[in-house]
Amino acid sequence: MKRIPCVVAGSIAIAALCGCNWLVPFIFVGEHKRTVPAEFNKLEGKRALVLVWAEPATLYDYPHVRIELATYVADKIRAGVKECETVDPADVEDLLQRDLDAAVDPVHTGKHFAADYVVYVELLGFQIRDPATPDLAQGRVSASVAVYDVNADPDEIGRFALTPVETVCPEHSPVLMSARNALTIRRKTYEVFSETVARKFFDHDVDL
């Protein structure tokens, strides 16, 4: 019986020398992905509102960025979190147009729409092309993300700061600017950014 480990070891060595890969499925099964837990896991079964803040200069260049990003993020959250209801971003944008203070008061805005939590996305940087190289397109979005508990008592923690988000698309290098490329890159940038934000609220697998 003492010779069995030696026989097994010898078989493995021979298989390796011969280039056989029959052991791969047994050795590496389950090693290609890992599960990342949610940063904030309290949205299940709740009503959430996505509120995006952008500085005036950003809104001047991209007047619809607030509602567009809020719509993408809300859709991703609703798809990933069980039984999470999201406030219609169009209704939120309508309020922001009428009440300037709503953009900087997440709790007030959340109460207005009877939300349980507000996902507050503060855009720190947003561009589809660098003004220094206007003939090239590359989406860049940086933002802080926090969650506000609308119903928290005064003596409870009502704000939860999450990890900031940095998105670059295409990731490695810009592409030549054109009307078609600009639209495609903007849409893809929204997709990547919103997916990154939404994954903060549910467990998910990532490739190793």
Q: Which two tokens stand for residue 91?
A: 């209704």
Distance (Å, rounded) from C-alpha 11 to C-alpha 200? Answer: 46
% of the chain with per-residue pLDDT over 70: 85
Q: State the DSSP H helix or E strand holding residue 159, giving kind and residue range, or none if neither.
A: strand 159-161
Nearby residues of 44 by Cβ (< 8 Å), 6 or more positions away: 81, 82, 83, 84
Indicate whether 35 pLDDT > 50: yes
Determine the average pLDDT of the residues in 121-126: 96
What is the structure's pLDDT at 31? 62
Give pLDDT tens digits for 126-175.
Answer: 998 877 788 888 889 999 999 999 999 887 889 999 999 999 988 888 88
Phi and psi, residue 147, nearest 5°:
-120, 130
Q: 145 or 18: which carries more pLDDT confidence?
A: 145
Q: Which two tokens stand for residue 35?
A: 């599960």
Long-range contacts of residues 52-56, Cβ cutoff 8 Å, at least 24 apart: 52/121, 52/122, 52/123, 53/103, 53/104, 53/120, 53/121, 53/122, 53/123, 54/123, 54/126, 55/123
Indicate whether 98 pLDDT > 60: yes
In terms of DSSP bridges, do strands 47-53 and 117-127 run parallel, antiparallel, or are they unpaired?
parallel
Strand-pair partners of 190: none
Q: Which two tokens stand for residue 16?
A: 């390796």
Indicate whether 8 pLDDT > 60: no
Give pLDDT tens digits for 188-206.
Answer: 999 999 999 999 999 888 7
Q: 156 or 82: which carries more pLDDT confidence?
A: 82
What is the structure's pLDDT at 111? 97
| Contact status, residue 68 vs residue 123, Cβ threshold 8 Å | no
What is the structure's pLDDT at 55? 95
